[in-house]
Amino acid sequence: MTREDFEHIAQCCHSLAGLVEDQSQPRAFTRDEFDRFIDRLIWAIHASPDGSPAFDHTLFVDRCNGKVN
């Protein structure tokens, strides 16, 4: 996977982050559920057959949470 791949995945996660912020939504994620979801994505990325030398864990988590470095 390339850095662009990771950034696209993080953008998708960030779109789900709104469900964490707005707990009035019927399908809202709790903060813990969202964090576990991100952890599962990180596990899947590390388990990819070609490895992921371009993966930056901190940058990925920050992007999932809408932070731009």
In tens, the pLDDT along 1-11 reads 777 888 888 88
Least confident of 19-23, 30-34, 63-67: 19-23
User: Per the domain annotation, does 60 fall within a domain?
Assistant: yes
Closest CA to 69 of 34, 45, 37, 60: 60
Note down the domain range covering 26. 3-64
Within 8 A by CB and 6+ apart from 50, the residues are: 1
Q: Is residue 46 a part of any domain in this protein?
A: yes
Query: What is the residue type of 33?
Result: E
With CA atoms as reference, report the closest residue to 5 among 66, 65, 53, 58.
53
* Count of structural domains, the chain: 1
pLDDT of residue 69: 65
Assess whether pLDDT exceeds 70 at residue 40. Answer: yes
Is the pLDDT confidence value at 34 over 80?
A: yes
Predicted confidence at residue 51, as pLDDT, reads 63
Residue 10: its pLDDT value, please? 87
* Domain assignment present for 69: no
Whether 8 maps to a domain, the answer reads yes
Q: 29 lies in a domain? A: yes
